Chains A and B, each alone.
Chain A
């Protein structure tokens, strides 16, 4: 099971990213533990400067804007 974190302070793009990740994972039948990280010190601990960011199993795979669907598909 993959541990996926979406980093973001709660703007519209962050919510869109969360929904996209959830939808793609469900489509592909991949089990994920999805978590939304909203508090700033935690976001900064990943050294991400432009939100939304996506972290999979502790590795930052995306930062800055909603990721393209094809990019999300490549993660699962």
Chain B
């Protein structure tokens, strides 16, 4: 079987490498001319950037291709990276790790391990049953949805690398500290009874074999189809709304109630964010436009983190494995962390 798959693999592999090389060149060529493109279209439509409408159209034409290009590129790379971090592997890396080091490792692995909120419970229990401490498991569970490539790409595309790095750092910090605190609270008895009864390590052998590079590239491309296919309408909608805000809402309009000097803005943003459920793709373009109008970055980032990290549907799924006390503690600790991040950002920047 291996000789046969080798013979099939080489032409397939070279084809992939050629496609990737050509697409990378094309990608950079297009990415470096986005501004000219938007200018040209606005000029062709005989609009002026001095008008509200012209400015809004320019914003839309410049940001949409930019964000979609960035997203496609990064999601493809992440799809490949994720093939190296199957949940089973991550679990093996985390099991038996001490609290502290374990929390840091868990939060970091949360970025690269494929995660879908519909698998949150199996993953959660799988970790616990392999001897990963509860607090360490929570660090993973908080970081995985919050610090994801879509959020980082959008932040990078719309605010630049500094804000993206700050978000990455703060997201990790919230996940590490919140997991650490939950671990210290010793809440194991607030797991549902059936979860507590599950015995450690049944050791079922999975039939999955090692992957070839062709399979990894295919996984990367599948990831693009899945993620970009799902989020592009939100991005268009978000950038459209963002463009309208950008073009029409007066400067400093947001400063009065989302500005730096409004002390209650951060808690209000977090409270507002929890029941809302959307993905990073839809929220970030709007967030960018709000900031352009005088909203404070910390307030807006706190809102974003609350929307992404604390969502009602995920809590409902987790309820199957956690008793209400533990869910409330989880929500409370994470919300407090986000609150602090919001205040720190507003204070520092």
Q: Which residues of A contact B (CB under 8 A)?
A: 8-11, 13-14, 40-41, 43-51, 59-65, 68
B119 and A50 form a contact (CB under 8 A): yes
B204 near A47 with CB under 8 A, answer yes
Please state if B87 and A50 are interface contacts (CB–CB under 8 Å).
yes
In the complex, are the beta carbons of A40 and B321 less than 8 A apart? yes
B32 adjacent to chain A (CB < 8 Å): no
* Nearest-neighbor residue (CB-CB) of B120 within chain A: A9
Q: How far is the CA of A11 from the CA of B314 in the complex (A)?
A: 13
Could you write out 8 A-B pairs with CB less than 8 Å apart? A47-B126, A49-B122, A50-B114, A50-B119, A50-B123, A51-B119, A60-B206, A63-B206
Which range holds the interface residue count of chain B?
20 to 34
Query: Given A47-B203, A63-B206, A64-B86 in contact, is the A9-B126 Cβ separation under 8 Å?
Result: no
Q: Are A11 and B118 in contact (CB under 8 A)?
A: yes
| Cα distance, A42 to B345, chains bound together (Å) | 45
* Residue numbers in B under 8 Å from A11 (CB-CB): 116, 118
Q: Which residues of A sit under 8 angstroms from B320, Cβ to Cβ? A: 40
CB of B121 within 8 Å of the partner chain: yes
B269-311 CB mask vs A (1 if < 8 Å, else 0) is 0000000000000000000000000000000000000000000
Contacts of A65 in B (CB 8 A): 114, 222
A44 to B126, Cβ gap below 8 A? yes
Query: How far in angstroms is the closest Cβ of chain A from B207?
Result: 5
Which residues of chain A have C-beta atoms less than 8 A from B202's C-beta?
A: 45, 47
B153 within 8 A of A: no
Bound-state CA distance A43–B320 (Å) is 13
Q: CB-nearest residue of chain A relative to B122?
A: A49
Residues of chain A lying within 8 A (CB to CB) of residue B88: 49
List the B residue with the shortest CB-CB distance to A46. Answer: B204
**Beyond A49-B127, A63-B206, 13 additional pairs, beta carbon < 8 A:** A8-B118, A11-B116, A13-B116, A14-B118, A41-B194, A45-B202, A47-B129, A47-B202, A49-B123, A51-B118, A60-B204, A60-B206, A62-B208
**B91 adjacent to chain A (CB < 8 Å):** yes
Name the A residues within 8 Å of B206 (CB-CB): 60, 63
With A40-B320, A49-B91, A59-B207 already in contact, the answer to whether A64 and B114 are too (CB < 8 A) is: yes
Q: Which of B87, B194, B207 contacts A61 (CB 8 A)?
A: B207
| Complex contact B122–A48 (CB within 8 A) | yes
In the complex, the chain A residue whose C-beta lies closest to that of B121 is: A40
B114 CB contacts on chain A under 8 angstroms: 50, 64-65
**Docked pose: A10 CA to B198 CA in angstroms:** 22
B344 at the interface (CB under 8 A from A): no
Residue from B86, B118, B125, B194 with most neighbouring chain A CB atoms (10 Å):
B118
Which residues on the B side are within 8 Å of A10 (C-beta)? 118
Interface mask (B55-92 → A, CB under 8 Å = 1, otherwise 0): 00000000000000000000000000000001110010
* Contact residues, B186-228 vs A (CB, 8 A): 194, 198, 202-204, 206-208, 218, 222
Given A49-B88, A60-B207, A43 contacting B116 (CB threshold 8 A): no
B317 interface hit (Cβ, 8 Å) = yes
- In the complex where A60-B206, A63-B206, A64-B86 touch, is A44 in contact with B198 (Cβ < 8 A)? yes
Assembly CA distance A44 to B202 (angstroms): 10
Return chain A residues, CB-CB under 8 Å to B121.
9, 40
Most buried by B among A9, A41, A49, A64: A49
Q: A48–B123 Cα gap in the complex (Å)?
A: 8
